[in-house]
């Protein structure tokens, strides 16, 4: 089976697809991954063939784009910004994908760019999308996130209400996409976007835990909850020695915002250091925001990029932004979350870890001041720590990569 993968965005959008590509290679398939050159090394280290797509930005370029996304007023505005960012490069992206599809047996793209499946359909190639956040998965069991719930009504009426809201949401999202990139899609004979949420592709791989997150009733059988897809970079032995020396057998809080960026990060970190309890150890991962420590503190260790699995084995808890990938890694690590949402689905994941009993949310505006209290709350909660271990044990029984590969194999055989 010849598989063409594509995804666009930050590490949270790319790394799960790398893991999918690796699993497909291990199953004996030929895999190409079309994306930006920033991730080429990681892709090729997984045994996957890299195909270049623009823009050819370095990390600072993507960090600037992420800062723009944090300014979105609502999900619809977020979609506008994402698609507007892609517009200058869209013709080259579409030309490249059209060429690559000529030799593909199946095409997989990310949910945000599900309209790319129209290229695959034009070429007669089965298509699938991956989504890393299940709040975009339609179901009559609940309404789209942020829309009103019908509280006092029979179950049958609630289901009708939810169905109507999902249909309206689908139409509004397509309208927004077509406003921005509809003309470019028509230039490539793709037509305009017709269904973003309800029927984006032949299969939708929802790459989160079915045991923890799958609703009782899905929209239809194209939606498959596979389990998490988690790509981990190679182990850094030099950093391991530094972490061991710093922790000295103690588990400590870890602060990481991954690929999220925000304005005035230096001032924010000054507030953090002013309020962090003296003598209490913390590991700070610099990330795309470039988190800094202004002057040396014996109880603070600043580190650069490292895999979640290597880092989180030292964690008593992980303080993070609530990205899908980071949240999944913390759940697998069996430690509590403290989430400080910044953008998009991060508020949703904050609500989910609270629902599971494995995390706490701190508001972004005053997080440097409010974080110490949240850390004490989590440290004193034996129930939260125990529940985090239970969740990790449940996740250890799931096989996201294997389930995703089987779903794609079955799609091609239809």
* Mean of pLDDT over the chain: 94
**Tens digits of residue pLDDT in 236-277:** 999 999 999 999 999 999 999 988 888 888 899 999 999 999
Q: Rounded CA gap, 44 and 275, in Å?
A: 43
Higher confidence at residue 10 or residue 368? 368
DSSP 268-336: HHHHHHHHSPTT--EEEE-TTTT---SS--TTEEEE----HHHHHTTEEEEEE---HHHHHHHHHHT--
* Nearest Cα to Cα of residue 315 among 372, 358, 257, 252: 252
**Tens digits of residue pLDDT in 276-311:** 999 999 999 999 888 888 777 889 999 998 999 999
**Tens digits of residue pLDDT in 297-347:** 889 999 998 999 999 999 999 999 999 999 999 999 999 999 999 988 999
Q: Does domain 2-228+398-413 have CATH number 3.40.50.2000?
A: yes
| 49-52, strands of its sheet edge to edge | 49-52, 30-35, 2-6, 106-110, 127-131, 203-206, 223-225
Token pair belonging to 309: 């699995």
**pLDDT at 414 (0 to 100):** 67
- Cα distance from N-terminal residue to C-terminal residue, the chain: 13
Domain coordinates of the chain in residue numbers?
2-228+398-413, 237-395
Answer yes or no: same fold for 2-228+398-413 and 237-395: yes
Q: Running DSSP on this structure, what letter comes out for residue 244?
A: H
With a pLDDT cut of 70, the percent of the chain lying above it is 100
CATH hierarchy code of domain 237-395: 3.40.50.2000
Residues in the chain: 414
Tell me if the pTM is above 0.85.
Answer: yes
Q: Rounded CA gap, 77 and 10, in Å?
A: 18
């Amino acid at each position: 089976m010849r598989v063409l993968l594509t995804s666009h965005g930050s590490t949270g959008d790319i790394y799960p697809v790398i893991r999918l590509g690796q699993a497909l290679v291990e199953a004996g398939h030929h895999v190409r991954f079309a994306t930006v050159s920033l991730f080429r090394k990681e892709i090729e280290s997984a045994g996957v063939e890299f195909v270049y797509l623009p823009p050819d930005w370095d990390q600072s370029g993507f960090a600037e784009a992420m800062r723009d996304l944090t300014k979105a007023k609502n999900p619809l505005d977020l979609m506008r910004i994402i698609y507007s960012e892609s517009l200058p490069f869209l013709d080259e992206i579409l030309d490249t994908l059209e060429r690559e599809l000529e030799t593909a047996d199946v095409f997989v793209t990310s949910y945000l760019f599900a309209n790319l499946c129209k290229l695959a359909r034009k070429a007669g190639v089965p298509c699938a999308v991956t989504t890393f956040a299940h709040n975009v998965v339609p179901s009559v069991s609940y309404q789209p996130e942020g829309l009103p719930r019908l509280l006092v009504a029979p179950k049958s009426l609630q289901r009708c209400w939810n169905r109507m809201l999902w249909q309206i949401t689908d139409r509004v999202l397509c309208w927004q996409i077509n406003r921005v990139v509809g003309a470019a899609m028509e230039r490539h004979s793709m037509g305009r976007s017709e269904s973003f949420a309800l029927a984006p592709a032949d299969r939708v791989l929802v790459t989160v835990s079915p045991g923890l997150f799958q609703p009782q009733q899905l929209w239809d059988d194209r939606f498959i909850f596979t389990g998490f897809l988690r790509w981990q970079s190679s182990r850094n032995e030099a950093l391991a020695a530094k972490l061991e020396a710093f922790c000295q057998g103690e588990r400590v809080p870890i602060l990481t915002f991954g690929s999220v960026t925000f304005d005035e990060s230096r001032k924010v970190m000054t507030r953090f250091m002013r309020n962090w309890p003296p003598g209490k150890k913390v590991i700070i991962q610099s990330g795309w925001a470039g988190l800094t420590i202004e002057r040396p503190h014996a109880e603070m260790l600043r580190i650069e990029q490292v895999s979640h699995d290597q880092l989180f084995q030292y964690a008593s808890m992980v303080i993070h932004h609530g990205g899908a990938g980071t949240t999944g890694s913390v759940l697998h690590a069996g430690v509590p979350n403290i989430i400080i949402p910044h953008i998009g689905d991060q508020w949703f994941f904050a609500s989910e870890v609270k629902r599971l009993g494995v995390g706490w949310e701190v508001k972004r505006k005053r997080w440097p001041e409010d974080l110490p209290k949240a850390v004490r709350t989590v440290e004193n909660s034996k129930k939260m720590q125990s529940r985090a271990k239970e969740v990790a044990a449940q996740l250890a029984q799931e096989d996201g990569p294997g389930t995703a590969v089987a779903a794609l194999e079955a799609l091609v055989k239809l």
